[in-house]
Structures are given as structure tokens and as C-alpha cells.
Chain A
């Protein structure tokens, strides 16, 4: 794998990952958690998705634990109960005073998914946080910088928190081309201009591509569980 060094670091102990549903939040959260755990940081991943019972971080719990990541998942995740609950263990991450620790929140999609962040507002603002907004130009409802910026505002209003930086995860799944990411440069530039926010990093699941000048670049493994593929055999 032609991996470029990924030198981005969160500046705070709480890293909140938000965005449009289907923008790739969970995959980014799982990959980041594994990277930071591998670098020796005490890392916790919180499945904070109360919206969607399908395709969620809780699917990856075994591989996360093998990578040294502590996973906090809703009690009812991947059961038959469609209950929007959050695990009480979440409070433990606010009490953790180890400055080297990192808690990554994998938040549900859109403003709807970000709403429950509001109930932890005193704890989150008290501990200090960084909040990323993951976008993809190839998702129809955030295909223009204006629409993407509008959703970002909706998420901020719902969560009562501020986005601190943008993550460019522009991809078309299996149809992602070498130039799919670089094609989104102008879109991301516009989004940063409209919102006045910096780009934290870009992300891709391709091993190689037209990545010149794209930095920092998170080259990710695809952590999604595809039930119909041979790989579905693993981790069951």
C-alpha cells in the first residue's frame, strides 16, 4: 500500500465526528480509533448513533477490541430493539483526566443524529472538544458546497456545538476513481470559504490514486461489513 504518512492529530481529548448520513463517518471513526490506539494512545470509540440500526460502529466491536480500542456501544445495538438509547458508560470518558486519552464519538447522520449531543453539552464543552464535519461531493444532498454548508449549520444548531474542521471523504464506493478525490478540490475550497473552517484532512479507501497535493491524507481500510461477500465469514 502506497501509504502517505498521516500526521494529523486531534487537538483535544474529545473528537466528535458528524456529517450527512452515508458520508463515511463510521469508517473514518473506526480507522482513526485504530490508528491512535496503535500509536499508544488510550483510545475509546463511542457508537453515538441513535438514528440508524444498520451499518454502525457496533458491527466492528471485535476488531476494535483486538486493535486495543475500547468500544462503547448502545446496549441494544444489533438487537431487535429499535430504541434510541445511549449507554451510561459515556459519562466515563468525561471523567477520564488522562491527558493522553482520546474519545472518538461516532455520531448519527444529519442534524437528527447530532441532536443527542446536546444533552452532554456541559460535559463536552467542559472537557474541550474538536468536532469534524465529514462530507462527500458524491452524496446527492450535499453535492453542492451551499447544501453541505446548510447541513453543517443544521448540525451545529441541533448539537449546540461548533464544527471545528472539515473532512473531505468524497468517494463513490466501489466506483471511486483515481481522480474522484481531487475532482472535489474546488467543492471543498468553496465549502471552507463559505463556513470559514479549515480542512482537517482528506480520506480515501483507494491504495493509490491522484493524491498529489492532498495532505494530510487518511488512507483507510474499508471497515463496513458486507453481508453478501466472502469476507462476511470473518468476525461472526
Chain B
């Protein structure tokens, strides 16, 4: 199909529908409300359900219900709303239920601000729910990627029976760019023989549950789940290298911030600084090997995020602290300009 002009939030919603998601449960919060608004307009036209729940907690549990019955289901929110959903997310993980959770991050902590932020990196990649668990996290950096990775997220979720998070920010959610969407009505959804959707006396009943009284049974289930996490680490890692071939100073950045960094890399190159950008697209699993491959050649790494340096440890672990890792970031909803990043390259990691 031809290109159209969409907001990031709209592109997520339309792409979800085109990838067979007919069940959306949400609650409004800036800067992601357009997802719910778009769903409210479109779902009735495609025979789907868009339900504004009474709270974020209700919405995530509706996702649990729909996913239990085998439906492609999703919810979306922004930082404070995601915190409210965390209990439900752990229940989804514990029940091995696929679904999409979108976080259009805003300034935090607390009620924070409504401007773009990447302050939920730790929450998303380390502990989105209580207990031994991981959730695949995808970090798009353009409206096109928001649309594409929405489809990828649903597929990963179904394949490995896990919730998946699409982690973006207020700027990506609000900005408009040309986008080419997947064709309508062509997604073939996978069979879900485990779904609790009525056995009609033709098969054994399916039970969706996350409560296990016997610890040895629970341990087995967790271990089996971690085998699937290993497969995800093996098969689903995504990242982008931008001008890293000969780079001395390598910026590591994701999402909207990577766009600023790309511009800054160009500005640095004009000044004779050999800069490059490594962009993780999956934040969990983290592209450790791909980053390690740059560790010998690079003289320094510079992590750039809209937070206080939450990704720095992942970079250090990936490169086994072979090279110095510097950090530059803004927080609270503030955005650095490409010039700010250039100045950070020059003062922290600038290698001529």
C-alpha cells in the first residue's frame, strides 16, 4: 500500500489492527491517548473491541482475560500507568500469555511530567513484574519502526508465549512521519492449542493459571520458561550499526535519542571526530555480542539516554568493561539537542 502520514501513536494502533489484534483495553494518559482514541474510532469498523477500562489495573487484567481465550490483545499507557499494570504483567508472565504492552514514556518518577523520557529502562528490562521473569522489549526510533515492531512484538509474543513491551516515548508517540503499513486482512494468526476457549468435550480442558502451591512444580515451570528466554536471546536480538566501521568513539543510544545521536555523529564527523552509533533495538534481550564486537576497535563509548544512565551497566557488561563508558543524558522530560550531544562527544569521548 502507498505511504500515509501518521502520528506514532496512530501507527501503533493501526498496525496492531492490521496484525490481527482485535482486542484493545486501555485507559487515557498523556502522551499515549491517541492510541486509545484511534482504537475507539477504528475497532467498531473492523469488528473488534476497544474498551476504556475503569483503570490501568482493570485494563491489564482484561488483556489477561482476552489472551487466555487465545485473542491477540494489547494495552497501552505511559510511565505512571505502566507501574499500575505491573502486577497484571507478572500474572501474564506467570500464565505464559502473549500480549502487547505499549509504554509511551513520560518524565518521572511519580506523576512526573508529560514530556518525552526514557526513564523506564530499568523497569522494562529488569523487572516489569515481580518474580523471576523477563519481557522482550522493543525500542523503535521512527514512526515506521513503531508500526513494524508492533507486528514483530505480536509474533514474538505468540511464538514464545510471553508478554512483549514496545518501549517508546512522548516524542515518538506524538510526531508525524510517512509510514507504509502492513496490508489489511492478511495476517494469519497462529494456532493456540493451549487457549481456554471452550473444549466442547472434544479435548482436555485448558487451564490458565499462575498459582502453584507446590514449590517443586513452580520451579520446573520457571526453568522451562527460562529455556524459552534462552531461545529468545538466540533468535530475536535486533540492533543497528551506524557509521561504526571506523569509529573511535561509539555512541550507544536507542529510541528518539538515537535520532539526535545520528545527527550528532554527522556533526562530529564534519569536525574530524570518528564517531559512530550503536543502536540496540531489542533492549531485552540486549545485543551484547554485537556491542562486544566493537569493543576492541573503539577507544571510548558514550551512552546517551533521556534518563540518569540506566543503560550504562548493560553496555559495561556487554563489553566486559574493556573500554571506558561515559554517559550523557537529560532527564525529567528534557531533550538534548544534537549540539548538546556533540559537545558531550567532544568533552567526554571526543577522539580526533
Interface residues of A (CB under 8 A from B): 21-22, 52-55, 80, 82, 136, 138-141, 143, 171-175, 227-230, 232-233, 236
Contact = CB atoms under 8 A, between A and B. Distances in A.
Interface string B171-199: 10011111000000000000000000000
A138 to B, nearest CB: 5
Contact of B178 (A141, A173, A232): A173
A80 B175 CA distance: 18
A232 B170 contact: no
A230 B177 contact: no
Given A80-B115, A230-B267, A174 B170 contact: no
Contacts of A143: 4
B22 interface: no
Interface in B1-41: 3-7, 10, 14, 30-31, 34, 38, 41
Given A54-B170, A173-B178, A227-B171, A22 B333 contact: no
Given A174-B177, A233-B339, 16 more contacts: A21-B34, A22-B6, A22-B10, A54-B171, A80-B107, A80-B113, A80-B114, A141-B41, A172-B4, A173-B176, A173-B177, A175-B3, A228-B260, A228-B338, A230-B263, A230-B338
B177 A140 contact: no
For the complex of A and B, the 3 pairs showing the least CB-CB separation, nearest first, are A175-B178, A228-B259, A54-B174
Contact of B10 (A53, A140, A232): A140
B335 interface: yes
Nearest to B335: A227
B174 A52 contact: yes
Nearest to A176: B178
Contacts of B263: 228-230
B206 interface: no
B171 A138 contact: no
A232 B338 contact: yes
Nearest to A53: B114
A172 B266 CA distance: 26
B42 to A, nearest CB: 8
B123 interface: no
A233 B4 CA distance: 29
A14 B262 CA distance: 43
A53 B216 CA distance: 52
Which of B5, B6, B175 has the largest number of chain A CB atoms within 10 A? B5
B5 A138 contact: yes
13 contacts: A21-B7, A53-B30, A80-B107, A80-B114, A80-B333, A136-B5, A172-B178, A173-B178, A227-B171, A227-B337, A228-B259, A232-B338, A233-B338
B256 interface: yes
B266 to A, nearest CB: 8
B30 A140 contact: no
Contact of B338 (A22, A55, A174, A229): A229
A140 B14 contact: yes
Nearest to A52: B174
A229 B114 CA distance: 22
Contacts of B171: 54, 227
A232 to B, nearest CB: 5
Given A80-B107, A228-B260, A138 B338 contact: no
Given A138-B5, A230-B263, A233-B338, A54 B31 contact: yes
Contact of B4 (A52, A82, A138): A138
Contacts of B176: 22, 55, 173
Given A80-B113, A174-B178, A139 B338 contact: no
B174 A232 contact: no
Contacts of A172: 3-5, 178
A227 B330 CA distance: 13
Which of B107, B115, B266 has the largest number of chain A CB atoms within 10 A? B115
A232 B4 contact: no
A172 B177 CA distance: 7
Contacts of B333: 80
A55 B167 CA distance: 21
Nearest to B256: A228
